[in-house]
Structure 1
Amino acid sequence: MAKNRRTQEERTAQTRLALIDATIAAISDLGYTGASTTLIAEKAGVSRGAMMHHFPTRAALMADVVRHVFDHEMAEYEETRVRTGFGDRLYDWPRLLWAVLSRPSGMAVLEILQATRSDRDLAALVVPMQEAVEQSALGAVRGAFGGDEKLALSVMRLMVWSVRGLSIAERYLPHRAETEDAVELLSRLLRQAAPDGQMAPLKTLMEP
């Protein structure tokens, strides 16, 4: 019995992952509006009924994409930091974020977040989740680099949303070398302001 339950759990996880991957691919190809549930089911190789069993609404699927991508990104950041040491200093993070957030998965999340403006059902699921995601990331940032909550939140938003904005710019101004120069500049500015790679030296910049 235990083996059968594990097999069913594995199948469920595989189907959900296939749907999440298909959603990211569909958004990457056609944008949020073009990523219909029918197309997503086709890309995932499942029936629309099977998809609805796992995700009763399109909004529920999109919300799970946001959560999945965040969890995957956080695991990748930590694996990179442990393996290479890159990420041990605050000024490493613009480049680390760029390497991850500029991918199709990061762009898909950004499109989902933008879509919450006109989709109430999506907003009801995604906005609280995004707030929880940010708080989780904030805890990790403060644990690694110190700083009070206000300072850490400001620095984290500066890095994350600067990189996300640059990823949008690259879509319309596809000159990757110039965009990467801007990411590098942000990294160097943080290094100049906080050469020890910690949050504390930035505190004076927040004072009146």
Structure 2
Amino acid sequence: MTTPSQSSQSGQSSQSGRSNGSGRSNGSGEANGSGEADRAARPDRAKQDRSPKQDRSRATRLRLLEAAVACLAEHGWSGSTVTVVAERAGVSRGAAQHHFPTREDLFTAAVEHVAEKRSGALRALTRDLPPPGFARTWVIVEELVDLYTGPLFRAALQLWMAASNEEQLRQRVTALEARVGRETHRMALELLGADERGPGVRETVQGLLDMGRGLGLANLLTDDKARRDGVVEQWARILDDVLRPLR
């Protein structure tokens, strides 16, 4: 027979056991679940925190590159210091040096950046070209010559002139010019749909690019567009005559 005292102790023990069991299960389960969820969420939060900073960093870098090209084209190498570029880009000199530790780093990266943008524009041109024939060749020749009459060519020319007197810069500019030249030649062949293994194709395309540089140099002093248009048309005819048998 159970006494009231024993019954009371048994009830308390049972309630305590149920309470402790429930408490241990619920408390531990909720705590662990919450902790795991927090840990899982941390990388996402970290990515979200970093993303705006990365976006701002990319935007700052882009402003510096475009400002550097504009300064080179307008003021030349001697007038294009890191401070001048930073002011034009609307950033501090320290921010500029964070992205580009040296002046040479900044300006070679700037010219390469614009060259890549121009290559992208040439690729996009493919969608709007006329069918194969003289009209298509003419449009392509015009676009390629335009490479050498805009701010990119002016900026690149300033770098070349500076590199002729500075050995450290010369090595970097020579390598940059080789990369840009190869890419421009490749893009010209791609746009023209030409196989450079065909007779005279490689030499004629390279002659076109060399002629474009010459017109770009002439354009630095006077913008003789009428003369340039006549040269472009004639070169398009020459190139089309070379390509026609290969189509």
Q: Give the alignment's TM-score, normalised by structure 1.
A: 0.81
Rg larger in structure = 2
Shift of the 167–136 alpha-carbon distance from structure 1 to 2, 3 Å rule, reads closer
Secondary structure at the counterpart of residue 196 of structure 2 = coil
Change (3 A) 1:135 1:37: same
Q: Check whether the contact 1:60–1:122 (CA below 8 A) recurs between aligned residues.
A: no
| Residue from 163, 166, 169 that aligns with 2:212 | 163
Aligned partner letter, 1:97: L
CA contact (8 A) 2:188 2:205 kept: yes
The answer (yes or no) to whether the contact 2:200–2:242 under 8 Å persists in 1 is no
Q: Is the 8 A contact 2:163 2:169 kept in 1?
A: yes
Look up the SS of the partner of 1:34 in the other structure. coil
Q: Is the 8 Å Cα contact of residues 148 and 215 (structure 2) preserved in structure 1?
A: no
Question: Which runs of no fewer than 5 residues in structure 1 stay unpaired?
Answer: 202-208
- Asked if 1 retains the 8 angstrom alpha-carbon contact of 2:144 and 2:188, the reply is no
Q: Which residue of 2 aligns with 1:122?
A: 169
Matched letter for residue 67 of structure 1: E
Given the superposition, is the C-alpha separation of residues 175 and 50 from structure 1 closer, same or farther in structure 2, using an over 3 Å criterion?
Answer: same
1:176 — aligned with what? 225
What secondary structure is seen at the aligned counterpart in 2 of 1:32? coil
**Which stretch has the larger CA shift, 10-19 or 183-192?**
183-192
Which of 36, 54, 61 does residue 16 from structure 1 map onto? 61
Superimposed CA distance per residue, residues 124-161 of structure 1 (whole angstroms, 9 cap, x where no aligned partner): 22211222233334444455411239966533432222
Partner of 1:111: 158
Q: Quick one: distance in 2 between partners of 1:131 and 1:47?
A: 33
Contact 1:87 1:96 in 2 (8 A): no
The higher relative CO (CA closer than 8 Å, separation ≥ 6) is in 1
Higher mean C-alpha deviation, range 45-54 or range 20-29: 20-29
* Alpha-carbon distance between aligned partners in 2 of 1:11 and 1:149, rounded to the nearest angstrom: 48
Residue 135 of structure 1: which of 170, 182, 190 is its match?
182
Deviation at residue 23 of structure 1 after TM alignment:
1.3
TM-score normalised by L of structure 2: 0.69
Percent sequence identity over matched residues?
A: 24
In the alignment, structure 1 residue 30 sits paired with structure 2 residue 79: no
The match for 2:118 is 73
Residue number in structure 2 paired with 1:85: 129
Instruction: Give me the whole-angstrom Cα distance separating, in 1, the residues matched to 2:183 and 2:77.
Output: 26
Does the C-alpha gap of structure 1 residues 86 and 32 become closer, same or farther in structure 2, counting only changes over 3 Å? farther
Return the letter of the residue paired with 2:142. R
The letter for the 2-side match of 1:3 is Q
Contact preservation (8 Å) 2:194, 2:243:
no
1:205 corresponds to: none
Structure 2: gaps spanning 5 or more residues: 1-45
CA distance in 2, matches of 1:131, 1:35: 24
60-69 vs 31-40, which moves further: 31-40
1:184 Cα offset (Å): 2.3
Residues 137 and 167 of structure 1: is their aligned pair in 2 closer, same or farther, counting only changes over 3 Å?
closer
- Which is further off, 85-94 or 170-179? 85-94
